[in-house]
């Protein structure tokens, strides 16, 4: 999500870290851990040239553990973290929601 409007912004990293740091589904995962995981995932995504199918597979695996709603919610929060929803972010949100079985109304 954070790479949709390239490059990933510090506000997106912060939003993800805060969300994960306060989420009950990973009580031992701190905001600092989440920020490091975010940075690592962004680097991996950029190294493989932005393989969206691979990322969707990863999101599906995470959703099996924490629930589809949580995955969609954190994607939406990251997309809006900089206060602007870019067209590329809207498209990725549509793709994520569709892949998770929660398409936007009208899609």
- CB–CB of 2/13 below 8 Å? yes
Q: How many domains does the chain have?
A: 1
What is the torsion angle, in degrees rounded to the nearest 10, for the CA atoms of residue 7, residue 8, residue 9 and residue 12? 160
Taking CA 22 as the corner, what is the angle to CA 19 and CA 7, rounded to the nearest 5 degrees? 25
Question: Is 93 a member of any domain?
Answer: yes
Question: Is 105 a member of any domain?
Answer: no
Question: Is 44 a member of any domain?
Answer: no
Question: Is 66 a member of any domain?
Answer: yes
Please list the pLDDT of the chain residue by residue as tens digits (107 residues): 777 777 888 999 999 999 888 888 777 888 999 999 889 888 888 887 767 777 788 888 887 778 888 888 888 999 999 898 889 899 989 988 888 887 766 65
Comparing CA positions, the residue from 64, 58, 105, 74 lying closest to residue 1 is 74
Question: Is 90 a member of any domain?
Answer: yes
Residue 87 has a pLDDT of 92
pTM: 0.81
Which structural domain, as residue segments, surrounds residue 93?
10-35+50-99
In angstroms, the Cα distances linking 104 to 32, 59, 69, 88 are: 32, 17, 13, 15
What is the torsion angle, in degrees rounded to the nearest 10, for the CA atoms of residue 85, residue 81, residue 104 and residue 58? 120
The neighbour count for residue 30, using CB atoms within 10 Å, is 13
């Amino acid at each position: 999500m954070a790479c949709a409007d390239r490059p990933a912004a510090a506000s997106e990293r912060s939003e993800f870290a805060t969300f994960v740091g306060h989420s009950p589904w990973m009580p031992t995962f701190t905001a600092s851990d989440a920020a490091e995981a975010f940075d690592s995932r962004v680097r991996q995504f950029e190294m493989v040239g932005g393989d969206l199918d691979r990322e969707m597979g990863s999101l599906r695996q995470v959703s099996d553990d924490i629930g589809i709603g949580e995955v969609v919610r954190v994607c939406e929060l990251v997309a809006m973290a900089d206060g602007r929803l870019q067209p590329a972010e809207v498209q990725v949100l549509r793709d994520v929601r569709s892949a998770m079985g929660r398409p936007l109304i009208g899609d």
